Amino acid sequence: MTIHRLLRAIIIGAPGSGKGTISTRIVKDFDVKHLSSGDLLRKQVQEKTEYGIQAKRYMDTGQLVPDQLMLGLFMHELKALNDHSWLLDGFPRTVEQAVALYKSQDIEVVLNLRIPFEVIIDRIKGRWTHPGSGRIYHVDFNPPKVLFKDDITGEPLVQRDDDKEETVKARLEHYRRLTHPVLQYFSNKGLVEEFSGTESNEIWPHVHKALSKIVVPKQYTHYE
Ligand code: ATP
Ligand code: MG
């Protein structure tokens, strides 16, 4: 059995869903270029390109960068990857972006990581940080020796504003509102594969298996 297809995939998952972990594993096991919209944009900003100059003011205020700008940037990147496999992360984020992408590229699969919101909230809200060093603890999964104190300096730990339960809930709600129509659009095309679970280790073998049906992994890895 030989498979010659390219892997043209999109990964979708809420903040705290383990999307970064899964993407890293995909890149390790499959010959695919990972394009993260946030990383791409930050690079443009840093290099002060026309895209970067335009995008910066939206990013600075947490707003979405306009569709035309995002499309210009991604179409430009994808053109350079004509006979490569890719994994898009953070793009498309609006239906307009999805429609334009779908019209110009063959998409094989949209991976949707479905982690219950309660699990994500528990994961993030238990997180405490030592501001001086950036050391991160979790009250359940990685507790400090003394509660709310840094192991090394003994200084107090703080909870970042965006890790507080109310903020996390708001971010997740925002994500749901924004992403739902994009998923619906791809779902109508029969492209969405859902992966449900509470841990990356549990989800990963299923992702691996689904992608292996499209392209051959770099080296043979067996998961069951
Ligand atoms: P995450 O928590 O998943 O990292 P984020 O909100 O930090 O999400 P990034 O993906 O890191 O977002 O992107 C940073 C900023 O870049 C966003 O706040 C937004 O302004 C812009 N951006 C990224 N992707 C898109 C997109 N597809 N469309 C419009 N703007 C985007
Ligand atoms: Mg980010």
Q: ipTM greater than 0.90, yes or no?
A: yes
Name every protein residue with a CB atom under 6 angstroms from any ligand 1 atom: 15, 37-38, 41, 58-59, 62-65, 70, 90-93, 97
CA of 1 to the centre of ligand 2 (A): 40
Element (H, E) at 110: strand 109-114
Has 19 been annotated as catalytic?
Answer: yes
Task: Give 179's pLDDT tier (boundaries 50, 70, 90).
Answer: very high
CA distance 73 to 16: 26
Has 127 been annotated as catalytic?
Answer: yes
- Look at ligand 1, atom 24, and give the residue with the nearest C-alpha: 37
What is the value of pTM for the model shown? 0.87
DSSP 142: B
For residue range 94-135, what is the model confidence (pLDDT) as tens digits? 999 999 999 999 999 999 999 999 999 988 888 899 999 999
Task: Give 43's pLDDT tier (boundaries 50, 70, 90).
Answer: very high
Among residues 43, 48, 145, 160, the one annotated as catalytic is: 160
